[in-house]
Amino acid sequence: MSISQQKIRGLYFEEFEPGMTIVSAGRTVTESDIVMFAGLSGDFTQIHTDAEYSKTSLAGQRVAHGLLVLSIASGLAARTGFMEGTVQLFREIDEWKFIKPVFIGDTVHVVVTVLETKGLRRTGSGLVALEVDVRNQQDDTVMKGNWRILVASRPQE
């Protein structure tokens, strides 16, 4: 089952099925994003902030911070609504790979696929393992890995 840019609000643990896919809307990375992230994180590395230096780098231009794009991916996943009001904890990021650079003007979106679920009765919730694939406007994967979240079970009636 694939869910693409629909209005989803707070899926309960029991509604997640392995193979389920959720696709976010896109978001364009701006120069302002990079400048604000540098200020927030304190990472003013030249590859991100110095246009002249970056011209001589492997990428040939400024590159968005990998952790900035990961943060944007988290926001895009949240915007889909599937975690709204039901996610209890963000437990883990695992096997994260930064595959291609993201440049100013690139538009990224996320494809989230449910890998597995594990009920945790004593907590009234379950663990959901997600594969998160961040893609650019050419649909090339720029980063990917796995997230594990704790999601509330459906209330007993």
The full 3-state SS of the chain, as one line of letters, equals: CEEECCCCCCCCHHHCCCCCEEECCCEECCHHHHHHHHHHHCCCCHHHHCHHHHHCCCCCCCECCHHHHHHHHHHHHHHCCCCCCCEEEEEEEEEEEECCCCECCCEEEEEEEEEEEEEEHHHCEEEEEEEEEEECCCCCEEEEEEEEEEEECCCCC
| Mean pLDDT score across all residues of the chain | 94
Q: What is the pLDDT of residue 156?
A: 80
How far is C-alpha 32 from the geometric centre of its chain's CA atoms? Answer: 19
Which of the two residues, 73 and 8, has the higher pLDDT score? 73
Mean pLDDT across the stretch 11-20? 96
* pLDDT confidence tier of residue 155, bands split at 50, 70 and 90: confident
Return the CATH fold of 2-29+64-152.
Answer: Thiol Ester Dehydrase; Chain A (3.10.129)
pLDDT digits 0-9 by tens, 41-80: 999 999 999 999 999 999 999 999 999 999 999 999 999 9
Given a cut of 80, whether residue 101 has pLDDT beyond it is yes
Instruction: Quote the pTM value.
Output: 0.91
